[in-house]
Structure 1
Amino acid sequence: MDTLELVKFIMTYKFAINEITTKLNILNEEFKYVHDYNPIENISSRVKTPESILQKVKKKNCDLSIMSIKENIKDIAGVRITCSFISDVYKVYEMLQKQKDIDVVQCKDYIKSPKPNGYQSLHLIIRIPVFLSDRVEDTYVEIQIRTKAMDFWASLEHKIYYKFGKEIPENLTNELKEAALSAIELDKKMERLHEEVKLIKNIENVNEV
């Protein structure tokens, strides 16, 4: 695989991210217009560097060809969505599922079943068509949807993880797990408050009528 071929390959993933973020922004704006509320707080994205892709190819021990990389490494393009509430995470997931040109090929729900270290997030692998000048490329994108509390915890855990060279002392591991449990409780409490506010608002709307 030459450099030009790899650059063209990676560009397809950038275009896939553009398509996903455009869809998400449209859905978020429509939701705000219809419901006077934004389920999405923030959208960020990244595409793996050629070096990172090649490292993963070696790790997975797959062929160094475009077709092999495409089928074996499905997180070259990544989109992270942060929401205020847990219910918003599943609203966004539901809206994505309803998009006819998006195929959800994998879903891992680490919110209902957190990882042993306390990590929470909804992980999706989706496939979306990218329309190029001479062809259509079905492209995989990894999407992570989580609350702001989950994202805050994951960000700090990631920094600590790499600061200690992936060998975190046991006392810090325990404290991180406790912090994750606190984040879970915070999300649950905020969800309850969110539901109460919606109920009050609905009652006020009925009374106005």
Structure 2
Amino acid sequence: MKHFRRFPVFTQFRGNKPGILIGVILDRHNRLNTADLKARLKMIDLPEGNFNADEITEFIDQMQVYEGAMYEISTKLEILDDEFQVRFSHDPIHHMERRLKSLNSIIGKLERKGLPISVNSIKDNLFDVAGIRVICNYRDDVYSVSNYLSSQSDIQVLRVKDYIKNPKQNGYRSLHVIYAVPVFLSSGAHYTPVEVQFRTIAMDYWASLEHALRYKTDLPDAKLSEHSQTLLDCSRSLQNIEVQMQNIHRDINGAPQVGEAPKTTD
């Protein structure tokens, strides 16, 4: 069930009339339901046996840390968006989507990798349990926001994959950055990975359609191949259109122009 939460971005004054611009954060799932997660963990049937009470508690604690990291990053992004509006009269972020990987997705990914089902295995091998998709208006915004976020002193950049400069063979374009952000608990700071996908509006609706074609269709192979080629052509066309619109935006707006992806933290 998709849950929308609206938040005030900033107060804008036009003439003598103040107005509130409203941004949207889309949560793919509601906040972590520990009682439901505990019940589902008890029902998981694994080759090595069911989770014991200590393992269930440890798993739930770790999922709460991932959730905390996800909200830490999204709050930082909201603040950056606010600052851009004040400084440049421009909102770089159109909207954001947050999600925690489901229990089935976590276990399925560990099994596909041939890894043990344990909290330590998740912490050591999965870096996308917490995820945020940041939909920006222009390509400059993608690189500006990602670099400003990366430069914050409490942020570590673990991995960068720039599929905008180097699109996938199917035409997919997006900037993927895995950040580590501290989550402060009674036991101290726990640096926790969050995968952030930055993309423009055009990249996002292209990716949504391509995902539906790949995973949610019963089309025959010939039709699937035809549509895949059409989407590849569309991706190239959209890229050209985005460049032209970006150039117009640059001429009428003084927002920063950044054309490079963040660098990993040494």
Describe the shift of the 1:16–1:112 C-alpha distance in structure 2 as closer, same or farther (beyond 3 A). Answer: same
Percentage of matched positions with identical amino acids: 40
Q: 1:184 is matched with which residue?
A: 239
Q: Alignment partner for residue 114 of structure 2, among 48, 51, 61?
A: 61
**Counterparts in 2 of 1:66-105, with a 5 A limit?**
66-105=119-158
- Secondary structure at 2:253's aligned position in 1? helix
| Structure 1 unpaired stretches of 5+ | 200-209
| Structure 2 unpaired stretches of 5+ | 1-50, 255-266
Q: 1:14 is matched with which residue?
A: 67
Structure 1 residue 99, shift from structure 2 partner? 0.7
Describe the shift of the 1:165–1:110 C-alpha distance in structure 2 as closer, same or farther (beyond 3 A). Answer: farther
Aligned length: 199
**Counterparts in 2 of 1:154-193, with a 5 A limit?**
154-164=207-217, 169-193=224-248
Q: 2:96 is matched with which residue?
A: 43
Question: Which structure dedicates a bigger proportion of its chain to helix?
Answer: 1
Q: Alignment partner for residue 125 of structure 1, among 175, 178, 202?
A: 178
Say whether residues 1:147 and 2:203 are aligned partners: no
Instruction: Give the TM-score normalised by structure 2.
Output: 0.71
Q: Does the 8 Å CA contact 1:6/1:50 hold for their aligned counterparts?
A: no
TM-align CA RMSD:
1.7
User: How far apart, CA to CA, are the structure 1 residues paired with 2:180 and 2:115?
Assistant: 21
Instruction: Give the TM-score normalised by structure 1.
Output: 0.90
Partner deviation per Cα, 1:21-59 (whole Å, 9 max, x = no partner) = 111111110111111111111111100011110111101
Structure 1 residue 133, shift from structure 2 partner? 2.3
Partner deviation per Cα, 1:74-126 (whole Å, 9 max, x = no partner) = 00000010111111111011101111111001000000000000000000011
Question: Which structure dedicates a bigger proportion of its chain to strand?
Answer: 2
